C-alpha cells in the first residue's frame, strides 16, 4: 500500500475552548491529506475526470494535541471495491509517537461531469497499491 505523510504544527486557530485541537480541525486535516495524496499520486487526466465525495467518517480520538505540538499525519487506502474506497488516516504526536487519532473514511468516486458514481479502475487501484 502506498502511504503518504506530512507534518504540521498546531496553531492558535486550531484550538477549541479547552485549548485542544478542535474536532472540526481534525476532520479538515483528514480531508486535506486525503486530497493531497490523490493529487500527488494521480496523473492530471485521472484527476480531471474523477472526483471523490465522503460517505462516512469514523473517527476515534485517543489523545489531545495542544498549541505548538508537531503532528505527523499518515494516510493510505485500506480497501477499494466498486465505486467505494476506505481511506485510513492516523495522527501521531511527532515527539512522543503517541497515537492522537485514528480514522476510516469511506469515499465514493464520481465522474466529474455527470457526478454519478463510477467503478474505481484498476489503474487507480494500482497507483495506490505501491
CATH number at residue 37: 3.10.129.10
Looking at the structure of the chain, the number of domains it has is 1
**Where do the H-state alpha helices sit in the chain?**
23-41, 44-49, 122-127
Asked if 34 and 107 touch (Cβ cutoff 8 Å), the reply is: yes
109 class by beta-carbon count within 10 Å (0-12 exposed, 13-18 middle, 19+ buried) = buried
pLDDT above 90: percentage of residues in the chain: 97
Residues facing 81 on adjacent strands: 84
Q: What's the whole-model pTM score? A: 0.94
CA separation for the pair 57, 65 (Å, rounded): 20
The average confidence (pLDDT) of the chain is 97
pLDDT digits (tens, 9 = 90+) for 21-79: 999 999 999 999 999 999 999 999 999 999 999 999 999 999 999 999 999 999 999 99
- The residue segments making up the domain with residue 40 are 4-127
pLDDT, residue 130, reads 62
CA separation for the pair 123, 128 (Å, rounded): 9
- In this predicted structure, the answer to whether residue 115 has a pLDDT above a threshold of 70 is yes
Amino acid at each position: 500500500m502506498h502511504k503518504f505523510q506530512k507534518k504540521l504544527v498546531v496553531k492558535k486557530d486550531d484550538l477549541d475552548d479547552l485549548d485542544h485541537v478542535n474536532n472540526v480541525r481534525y476532520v479538515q486535516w483528514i480531508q486535506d491529506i486525503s486530497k493531497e495524496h490523490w493529487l500527488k499520486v494521480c496523473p492530471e487526466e485521472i484527476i480531471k475526470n474523477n472526483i471523490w465525495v465522503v460517505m462516512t467518517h469514523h473517527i476515534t480520538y485517543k489523545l489531545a494535541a495542544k498549541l505548538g505540538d508537531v503532528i505527523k499525519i499518515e494516510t493510505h487506502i485500506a480497501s477499494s471495491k466498486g465505486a467505494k474506497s476506505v481511506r485510513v488516516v492516523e495522527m501521531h504526536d511527532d515527539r512522543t509517537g503517541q497515537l492522537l487519532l485514528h480514522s476510516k473514511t469511506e469515499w465514493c468516486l464520481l465522474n466529474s461531469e455527470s457526478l454519478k458514481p463510477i467503478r474505481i479502475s484498476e489503474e487507480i487501484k494500482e497507483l495506490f497499491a505501491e
